[in-house]
Amino acid sequence: MTSVPIGLQLYTVRDDCERDFFGTLEEIAKIGYRWIEPFTFHGVEPEDLERVLKKLSLGVISSHVELDRLESDLEGVMRDHEILGCRSIVCPWLDEDRREGSDAFEKIGSILNGIGERLRARGFSLSYHNHDFEFAVSNPDGLQRILSQADPQNLSSQLDTYWVHFAGFDPVQYIRQLGPRLSSIHLKDQDPADGKFSPIGSGTLDMPSIIRASQELGVKAFIVEQDYHKLLPLQSVKKSLEFLRSQGLTE
């Protein structure tokens, strides 16, 4: 199997980034990450961020951009990410008012299809990142309803393993169900004690099987994420990377 890049979703270390964005990026690079996935630039201009990332030998593997900005300022989104050398855009969340109505997910899928078409014309790709609320509906679930309204070339899935598991589904089976619609994976584990979050490899999810199934389908990136921590965030992301390397994953 080919190697798959490992990125870190910066929401994992959001408090550190708020205190010292560039210093935190330096610590991430020291731990051994070579790719990041931002959800904000913390007030830094893309040109300044690109210079720092280049110095640290870090790249932007993908980027979370809120749906409101994708709708209102897509040209700005593309411009910013062209500067950063990032061609993978992810819609990370739907506000509650976006989920209202029996056809809410179908409407979102249609909106994302149009955005994805415009992105693709400029050499970008678009993915949708799930939480658990998509699975509160069934036959089919909300994620499948979103994807059903979009051309596969315009919209794929960035699957979050924790939320799939939390919603009562088997992440491995769901990965196989997505097949070629799977673009990247958010690797996130569940603490066996309280059901919350833990460093990858220390929780209840079958990470070796998740990794293997994703590789078999040609996943383009593994993204480490942990919403909350018992350890210090940078300690948690170090443990996660150590586990992934123990599974034979390399940059």
Q: What is the pLDDT of residue 146?
A: 98
- Domain of residue 81, residue span: 6-246
Residue 158 lies in a domain: yes
Pick the closest to residue 110 from 68, 76, 66, 154 (CA basis). 154
Residue 251 lies in a domain: no
Residue 129 lies in a domain: yes
pLDDT band at 68 (very low <50, low <70, confident <90, very high): very high
Residue 1 lies in a domain: no
Q: What is the pLDDT of residue 2?
A: 59
Q: What is the pLDDT of residue 251?
A: 63
1 has pLDDT over 60: no
Q: Is the model more confident about 58 or about 249? A: 58
Mean per-residue pLDDT, 197-210? 97
Q: What is the mean pLDDT of the chain?
A: 96
Residue 222 sits in a domain of what CATH number? 3.20.20.150
Whole-prediction pTM: 0.97
- The CA-CA-CA angle for residues 108, 221, 173, to 5°, reads 70
Total of domains in the chain: 1
Pick the closest to residue 130 from 102, 167, 103 (CA basis). 167
Residue 54 lies in a domain: yes
Residue 144 lies in a domain: yes
83 has pLDDT over 80: yes
Residue 12 lies in a domain: yes
Residue 161 lies in a domain: yes
C-alpha dihedral sign at 58, 64, 68, 72: positive
Dihedral (Cα; 65, 68, 70, 75), 10-degree rounding: -110
Mean per-residue pLDDT, 218-231? 94
250 has pLDDT over 80: no
